[in-house]
Structure formats: C-alpha cells, structure tokens
Amino acid sequence: MTGSGSARGRLLAELSTVSRRYMASYALFNQAVADHLGLHPTDLQCLNLLALERAPVTTGRVAELTGLTTGSATRLVDRLERSGYVVRERDASDRRRVLVATVPERIAEFGRAWERLGGDWAALFEDLDDIELATIVGHMRRTVAFSTERINRLREARTHSPPGA
C-alpha cells in the first residue's frame, strides 16, 4: 500500500507541475493570439465566451462571464464593438434593455483565425479512446467548476478586505 501511495503522491506532484505549465502555456498562447488579432487577452476570452452563449446578453452578463465590474465590462464591449465583433441592440421584449450580440461573420472569421493560429488541436487526441476522452472532458468540467468557485471566493475576499491587505 505504501508503494502505491507514494506512486500516487508522485503522480499528484507531477500533475501539479504539469498543470501549472499547461495554464501558463495557454495564457501565453492566448496572449499571442490576442496580439495577432489586435485584441486585449481579456477581450479575446470574452469573445470566446460570448460565442458560446445561445443568445445576445446584457453587459451585466458580460461582467458575470468575465468577472469584471460592470464599468469594465462596458469598456470591454465598447472595444469589441469598435473592432466589429459585437453590436448593441435593443431587447425586443423590453426596449429599455440593451443586449450585446456577436456579429456572425466576424465570429466565423475569429474562429477560422483561432484554428489557423492554434493548429489542429484535434490531432492531440487522435490516439485516445473514448474512455480517455471522457476522462479529460470530466476533468475539464471539474476544473472549470473549481476555478469558478475559487474566482468567486477571491473576488468576495477582495471586496471585503481593506485596501492593501
């Protein structure tokens, strides 16, 4: 039992190291793609998230998706609108409400650029069977949920901490 415990310990330590490298490499890749497209890295990720939404969203929802304040989210939407990726439109059911809608042609262009710059990601998974793919998908879902919870906790702590604490 001790042998398997230490093997697990080594695997968890390796997972910690490789996870940090993975996240750093993805952040640097995100920066390189953003630079190539003339976008801020946060704007790039917001665009990714907006493309996953089923319908236009409010600026408040943009703030929720990105963790930005509503003022910062408004400035982000302003930049995306100037770049032609989104438009603001009145909500048909509540004319007082303004929605942020992606521009389909620009999102398609964005997707093609992302694929061209990122290469063929699917090739990374060709040698994996369905069980291995399901394991990766499950891990990523748990990681997203865990990260979201931690982000919320950090933001909550920040709003209740005195400046400089």
The pLDDT of residue 43: 94
The pLDDT of residue 140: 93
Q: From residue 109, how far is each of 25, 49, 87 by CA, in Å?
A: 24, 16, 16
Whole-prediction pTM? 0.79
The pLDDT of residue 157: 84
Under-70 pLDDT residues of the chain: 1-4, 161-165
Cα–Cα dist 17/26, whole Å? 14
